[in-house]
């Protein structure tokens, strides 16, 4: 469909990542002004305005990372690594649906642990194909690790 050497070939990856983010945003937006403010949170909980720019940056980095794998390895050689990527992306959306949509804080913590595990597996698989693609996922790993601890603390406090 797209020439792997064309910068335009990144567009589907960006679209898929932001679509996953959009699914999560629907659940988040319904609760961020109602249910979420009522929760007890640690004092180091970031202000709400931080999340949109952080996730925008992370989705761009994720898109570039997956695109680099596809660009370098193609679907045939990069299939296993890209499947792991799409599994973690689905888990990313699922967390928002569980935490913000279902208000299931404990289940969301279990799910974000699964997300983190899949993210590590994806990064390792990407590393075997592209050093840069793997490193582009490091900010995402850091953020999800932070979010996991925040989820855990909110679960404990509520």
Domain containing residue 61: CATH number: 1.20.1260.100
pLDDT of residue 70: 94
Residue 84 inside a domain? The answer is yes
Confidence band for 129, pLDDT divided at 50, 70 and 90: very high
pLDDT of residue 36: 95
C-alpha 134/C-alpha 112 separation (Å) is: 20
Total structural domains in the chain?
Answer: 1
pTM equals: 0.92
Q: Give the Cα-Cα-Cα angle 45, 47, 49 (nearest 5 degrees).
A: 145
Examine the pLDDT at 1 and tell me if it is beyond 60. no
Within the chain, where are the H helices? 11-31, 51-96, 105-127, 131-135, 138-157
Residue 18 inside a domain? The answer is yes
Examine the pLDDT at 6 and tell me if it is beyond 90. no
Q: How far apart are the first and last CA of the chain?
A: 49
pLDDT of residue 2: 59
Residue 1 inside a domain? The answer is no
pLDDT digits (tens, 9 = 90+) for 70-81: 999 988 999 999
């Amino acid at each position: 469909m797209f020439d792997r050497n064309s910068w335009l070939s990144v567009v589907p990856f960006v679209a898929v990542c932001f679509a996953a983010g959009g699914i999560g945003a629907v659940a988040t937006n319904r609760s961020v002004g109602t249910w979420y403010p009522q929760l007890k949170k640690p004092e180091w909980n970031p202000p709400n305005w931080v999340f949109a720019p952080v996730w925008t940056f992370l989705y761009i980095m994720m898109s570039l990372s997956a695109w680099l794998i596809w660009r370098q390895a193609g679907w045939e050689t990069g299939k296993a690594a890209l499947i792991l990527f799409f599994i973690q992306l689905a888990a990313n959306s699922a967390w928002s649906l569980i935490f913000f949509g279902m208000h299931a804080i404990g289940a969301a913590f279990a799910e974000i642990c699964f997300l983190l595990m899949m993210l590590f597996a994806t990064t390792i698989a990407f590393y075997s194909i592209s050093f840069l693609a793997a490193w582009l996922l490091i900010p995402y790993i850091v953020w999800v690790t932070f979010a996991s601890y925040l989820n855990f603390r909110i679960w404990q406090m509520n």
